[in-house]
Each structure stands twice: as structure tokens, then as C-alpha cells.
Amino acid sequence: APTVGVLALQGDVREHLAALESVGARAVPVRRLTELEAVDGLVLPGGESTTIDNLLRVFGLDEPLRAAIKGGLPVYGSCAGMILLADRILDGTDDQRTLGGMDVVVRRNAFGRQVDSFETDLETAGIEGGPVRTAFIRAPWIEEAGPGVEVLARIPETDTLGRPVAAAGRIVAARQGSLLATAFHPEITGDARVHGLFVSIIAGS
């Protein structure tokens, strides 16, 4: 089984560790460079992207992680983690940086405020067995994606009651090589198939 790290500086680390274990990976928290060097893949969890950005710099993990991503380390970023994987960011704070690696523009807090959080079922390319149960919590979306980026999921045109959706068509899951990003949290709904997809990406890399 691959050893998959979860960046454990801030955010919902435990839920990702549990989801990874449930699909057969050996899951370990990563806070130090030596721990980063020992993993076959890494999850960047949801949380607060500005805080994780700051802590990456404080812990001296930002440059090593950039280098690891450039070197082909498989990385899955969820929500704040998706922001960290994006090459460009809209509505970030003035000094906010990302790790980059994925040729996308993300818009932070794109769906609105905390009260605008929601759960929904989403058809996701590369995931069999029906739509994925997802949670959007003050989530970003991908506003633009480069030609090398495979779009895996978009917000549907209507909700389950047939009403039009404001964010219709927005990209909320994408893959570029061994980098995977979702605007949503699959780790808190009990649906571990996105983690399963990530483990298969690690196996194939």
C-alpha cells in the first residue's frame, strides 16, 4: 500500500487520514521535511488557505513542497488545498501565495460566505458508481483552466428541485497529471471514492 501524507499544519487532517485508510493507503500526518520526504503522495486538506500558507513558510515547508510538486509528487488538494495547488488566485489576501503546480485560476470564497455552504451530489469524471456526495464549505471554484487541465466536475445547471443554480457550470474538480483538486470536501460525507482515485493516481505515477 502507498504511504500517503496529509499536511497537518491546520485544517481537517483527521478526516483525510481516515478516508485514506478506508481505501487501503497507509496514512500519515506530515509536519516536517523528513516526513514529507517519506511519502508517496500528499493531501492538502481544507481549512484556511491563508493560515496554511503562513504555516508552510514558518515550518520551512513551502519551498521543499514546491520542489516536490515540480518533481512529480502526486498531490490532492481539497478546498483550501485546491487554492494552494493553483498557479493563480483571485480574492486572496495581499500577501497570500500559493504553492502552484496546476495551471488554473482559482477564486477564493467564490460561493459566498459560511452560511452559503451546502452539500450536493456531483457526477465526477473518473469516479464510477454514481455521483459523489460532496460538501462545499466557503469553497473556491476554478475560474479558468489551462489546456493541460482535465475538468472532472462542474456545478450542474439546476438543483435537485429543478431550479437554476447561480454557480452553474463552474469547475469544481480537476486533474493535471498527478495533481488532483476538488473545491469540495469529500472526506466529511463518508464518500471515499475521490481518495480512492487519488490512491490510484499514486499507483500509476
Three-state secondary-structure class, residue 84: helix
Work out how close the CB of 179 gets to ligand GLN at its nearest, in angstroms, rounded to a whole number: 17
Q: Is 137 annotated as a binding residue?
A: yes
| Angle (nearest 5°) at CA 149 between 46 and 25 | 50
Work out how close the CB of 112 gets to ligand GLN at its nearest, in angstroms, rounded to a whole number: 10
Distance between the two ends of the chain, CA-based, in angstroms?
14
Q: Is 133 annotated as a binding residue?
A: no
63 is catalytic: no
Q: Is 47 annotated as a binding residue?
A: yes
Q: Where are the alpha helices (DSSP H) in 41-108?
A: 49-58, 62-70, 80-85
Distance of alpha carbon 77 from alpha carbon 185, whole angstroms: 10
Give the active site residue among 79, 119, 128, 157.
79
Beta strand ranges found along 32-158 (DSSP E):
41-44, 75-78, 86-90, 102-107, 118-122, 132-136, 141-145, 150-154
Work out how close the CB of 93 gets to ligand GLN at its nearest, in angstroms, rounded to a whole number: 9
79 is catalytic: yes
Work out how close the CB of 24 gets to ligand GLN at its nearest, in angstroms, rounded to a whole number: 25
Give the active site residue among 15, 16, 185, 195.
185
The residues binding ligand GLN (CB under 6 A) are: 46-49, 79-80, 83, 108-109, 137-138
| Pair 13, 46: CB distance under 8 Å | no
Structure-block grid coordinates of residue 99: 504553492
Q: Is 48 annotated as a binding residue?
A: yes
Instruction: Specify the residue, 2 or 61, whose C-beta has the smaller distance to ligand GLN.
Output: 61
195 is catalytic: no
Binding residues for L-glutamine: 47-49, 108, 137-138
Just list the catalytic residues. 79, 185, 187
